[in-house]
Amino acid sequence: MAAKIVDVLRAELGDAAVLTDPAGTRPYARDMMPLAPSGTPVAVVFPRTVAQVQTCVRRCAEAGVPIVPRGAGSGLTGAANAVDGCVVLVTTKLDEIVEVDPDNRLAVVQAGVVNKDLRTAAAAHGLFYPPDPSSFEWCTIGGNLATNAGGLCCVKYGVTADHVLGVQVVLADGELLRTGRRTVKGVAGYDLTRLFVGSEGTLGIITEATVTLRPLPQAPGTLVAAFDSTQAAGEAVIGVVKAGVVPSLMEIMDAISIRAVEAYLRCAVGTPGCQALLLCQSDSGGAPAERELAAIARICADAGATATQTTVDPAEGNLLLQARRVSLTALEQQGHCLTEDVAVPRTRIADLISGCARIGAEVALPVAVVGHAADGNMHPTILFDPSVPGESDRARHAFDRILELGLALGGTITGEHGVGRIKREWLAREVGPVGVRVHHRVKQAFDPDGLFNPGAMLLPRPSAD
């Protein structure tokens, strides 16, 4: 069967579009989550047109071969990981920016367009595409849609789903579905667009999207505040929210991540020995930005900040924000990283950070926490050495305990990375048995043979359903 599907795909798509050499296919077998399971694909295909995506889907359906859609592979949950005998369908060759419509403030892009490239194209018209995942320089729009990616600026501009007007999707039978619209408003029928955004390739393969654009914001002003406790930093976050101030970003870093960044950048970050940093920006421009930053500075001082620094110089602001942007890279320099993605109510951020520290002490592994304080989306990162016996198991145990903590604090198991293959049991816990049954019925309706990304998001269907 494997040889037959490879021959069929080569005949239909051309030899250059079908990769089978194990050394060549191995890099496409998994994403960036180290502990998620992965299998060995029979082939990796690189369609260049939507018609070729349809052909691949039809031929795999005829042969009963699973398909795992994949973008740039920047995911952190195993959602794009291969299963044994599957075809990995890589969408990066679908990289055309079909249209930028400045009058209606929208763009039509194929799934393989890199997030940064869309931003650059929009900027030429005085516009920008707001979703900004940390991997924006190389992640693709299709992957962003499949996981409903977020980023640093979500508090003001929302996540990916908030900027999608419609999608083009190849369904399980190879048919092409167009959802949504180009208008600002529209409520005709079920909201199928929202259904596909965040579905992790389990319902169809997104090949194109119509997205909204915003006017380019003003150059941001930046504030950094240092605290001698995470509790004080958490109080500052609550104070900002209560005051109704909406910065374009508000990020938090704990002591472990601060020390890692200091070692990586070889310079001091914050004040000596500080336990938490809050980094904020306002892109309201001019006097409004200055007022917002001044209000945040007062709130931080009232919460016990040991020092604050404010600048309206973009270059200096970028230097201050660099500490947050390089945090994961800095942590990776200290060992393997198992990165979490829990979101909690903003009033419970300090409780989550202190809880992660407690979990880290109990499993004898460092747990660093950085995250989007403005919306409560935290990224605890467990550092471990897989070459040391037992450390991978302890890291996974800590991972599960952090998810349990997030739910106990009234949160969710994922704010922007998705479920993938590593959080399926926890999705079931969060949505409950009725929610699980509804998920499976939706999956059955769109993918009756279960060939789209099997094993992602959902546990096997309960036999009684």
CATH number of the domain encompassing residue 168:
3.30.465.10
Residues 80 and 136 in one domain: no
pLDDT (average), residues 351-376: 95
Residue-level pLDDT at 461: 81
Domain boundary among 39, 65, 90: 90
> Over the stretch 36-72, which tens digit does the pLDDT of each residue have?
999 999 999 999 999 999 999 999 999 999 999 999 9
Last residue of a domain, one of 193, 215, 237: 215
Which ranges of 124-254 would DSSP assign to H, the alpha helix?
141-147, 154-157, 192-196, 230-243
Residue 212 contacts residue 220 (beta carbons within 8 Å): no
CB neighbour burial string for 84-101, b if at least 16 within 10 angstroms, e if fewer = ebbbbbbbbbbbebeebe
Same domain, 149 and 251: no
Q: How many C-beta atoms surround the C-beta of residue 385 within 10 A? A: 13
Same domain, yes or no: 111 and 175: yes
Give tens-digit pLDDT for 291-329: 999 999 999 999 999 999 999 998 899 888 888 889 988
List, as one string, the DSSP characters of 29-77: S--S-TTS-----SEEE--SSHHHHHHHHHHHHHHT--EEEESSS--SS
Whether residues 130 and 19 fall in one domain: no
For residue 343, is it within any domain? yes
Q: Is residue 415 part of a domain?
A: no
d(CA 188, CA 181): 9
Q: Does residue 156 share a domain with residue 78?
A: no
Closest CA to 66 of 37, 30, 40, 96: 40
pLDDT bin (cut points 50, 70, 90) of residue 401 is very high
Beta-strand pair 205-212/106-110: antiparallel
Instruction: Indicate whether 304 and 342 sit together in one domain.
Output: yes
DSSP-based three-state secondary structure for 419: coil
Region 419-432: mean pLDDT is 96
- pTM, two decimal places: 0.93
Q: Is 5 left (phi over 0), alpha (psi -120 to 50) or beta?
A: alpha
* Residues 113 and 169 both lie in one domain: yes
Token pair listed for 417: 């990375």
Q: Does any domain span residue 414?
A: no
- Are residues 14 and 129 located together in one domain of the fold? no
Q: Are 165 and 212 a contacting pair, CB within 8 Å?
A: yes
Q: What angle do CA 148, 370, 389 make, to 5 degrees?
A: 95
Whether 269 is covered by a domain: the verdict is: yes
Question: Residues 158, 249: one domain?
Answer: no
The CA distance from 456 to 82, in Å, is 10
Q: Report the number of distinct structural domains present in the chain.
A: 4
**Within a domain: 445:** yes
| Element containing residue 361 per DSSP (H, E) | helix 349-363
Q: Which of 130-134, 224-228, 352-356 has the lowest mean pLDDT?
A: 130-134
> Per-residue pLDDT for 271 more than 90?
no
Same-domain pairing of 175 and 109: yes
417 within domain boundaries:
no
Domain boundary among 183, 215, 247: 215
d(CA 440, CA 463): 11
Provide the CATH number for the domain around residue 66: 3.30.43.10
| Residue 413 within any structural domain of the chain | no
Q: Which domain does 304 fall in, by range? A: 221-408
37 & 58 share domain:
yes
Identify whether residues 240 and 204 lie together within a single domain.
no
Q: List pLDDT tens digits, range 112-138.
A: 999 999 999 999 999 999 998 888 899
Residue 238 lies in a domain: yes
